[in-house]
Amino acid sequence: MPSRKRIHTTIFDKPFDRSSKKLNQARRRIAAEAARIMATQAQYNFRIAKQKAAERLGINSRTALPSNIEVEDALRAYQQFYGGHQHDTQIQKMRQIALRVMRSLESFCPRLVGPVLEGTADKHSRVSLHVFNDPPDEIAIHLMDHGLSFRNEQRKIRWYDGSFRQVPLLVTDSDEVTIELALFSFVDLRQAPPSPVDGRPQKRAPLSEVECLLAGA
């Protein structure tokens, strides 16, 4: 009996999936347009930026919406291409302001978070710091004792278990830059809140790390 010839197939033998290619192209287009919207319209909500981008491009498929990480990568590319040295200078200025504030609040274990740390901030972004104390509202007393004016705000954060937490904010301005202090208890040093980008623990930089960022610039 003649032996049968065994045919080996690989993924490269499969028909090319044009629909998959179109979907990836749509995702890249939406990510690029969402990044442009975030960079030029001071829109910092990823979901809203993606929805606006999809509408503007006439793409209705939900499966074509890119992830927040894809949009953030596109935003970095946009800022480097269109902002260049001017964007780098703006980031350095904001990090220097963050460092100055962190040094003045060193006893409250300040941590830099958000776009200024990630390098995606623009001139409209806030310098966002997490500060810690028990009770947290004593930080406001500390600012008042040092003659610093601020306004009170709240931010709702979705936690890992799906619940929401209201985080108090103290907001002030310095050198045409807005600074926000998010107030936490010392126990919250153990775990950062979920990142609005990917839902993982938010990256937080202590004073020493911010000093290294500026020294290596």
Domain end position, chosen among 82, 102, 125: 82
Residues 6+ apart with CB under 8 A from 79: 39, 87, 120, 122
Residue 158 pLDDT class (50, 70, 90 cuts) = confident
**Under a CB-based contact definition with an 8 Å cutoff, are residues 179 and 99 in contact?**
no
Domain encompassing residue 72: 11-82
Residue 15's pLDDT band, with cuts at 50, 70 and 90, is very low
In a domain, 25, yes or no: yes
User: Of 34, 56, 82, which marks where a domain is finished?
Assistant: 82
pLDDT of residue 18: 53
Count: domains in the chain: 2
Digit-coded pLDDT (tens) for 122-153: 988 999 999 999 999 899 999 999 898 999 99
- Cβ neighbours around 207 below 10 Å, total: 17
Does the pLDDT value for residue 80 go beyond 60? yes
User: In terms of domains, do 32 and 108 share one?
Assistant: no
Within a domain: 6? no
pLDDT of residue 13: 41
pLDDT of residue 7: 47
Model confidence pTM above 0.85: no
pLDDT-based confidence at residue 160 (cuts at 50, 70, 90): confident
